[in-house]
Amino acid sequence: MVSQKKLLSELSGFHSTEQYHKVYPNLMLTDGVHWLFHETCSYWIADMVYSYQSLPIVAKELFQVYDFKVNLEKSTAVMICTDGNENILKKKYIEYTDFPLESIRLYYQNNVLLLPSEY
């Protein structure tokens, strides 16, 4: 798996997308998110985001923010979905993860999951 330093360096280079990567009928990833999930073997984050779209409280929001916060020491995490105005729509504790970053923020809009730098 790629190092934290390399991940952060590479992620800083994504400012738009050249193509969208379809992972579900109503979920596409930008180049940056696709690269991140591939490098960290974490497509399961896309699974979570996609599954949240079946919840009426989440699905009604046209713009969503996903904050994934990892306790690297304990290998645990929390995924917090908000409406972009800090109103929590869904919060999920994860008992184990090997995701290598302390945190990552993703945006969801128009069935596309993207990095904030790609917005």
Is the pTM higher than 0.75? The answer reads yes
The whole-angstrom separation of Cα 40 and Cα 91 is 22
pLDDT tens digit sequence for 36-83: 999 999 999 999 999 999 999 999 999 999 999 999 999 999 999 999
105 to 16, 25, 47: CA distances (angstroms): 16, 23, 16
Structure confidence by residue, pLDDT tens digits, 74-117: 999 999 999 999 999 999 999 999 999 999 999 999 999 999 99
pLDDT for the residue 72: 94
Map out the domains of the chain with their CATH numbers. Answer: 4-114 (3.10.450)
Confidence of residue 1 (pLDDT cuts 50, 70, 90): low
Give me the residue label for tokens 């690297």: 72
CA dihedral 8, 48, 37, 1 (to 10 degrees): 80
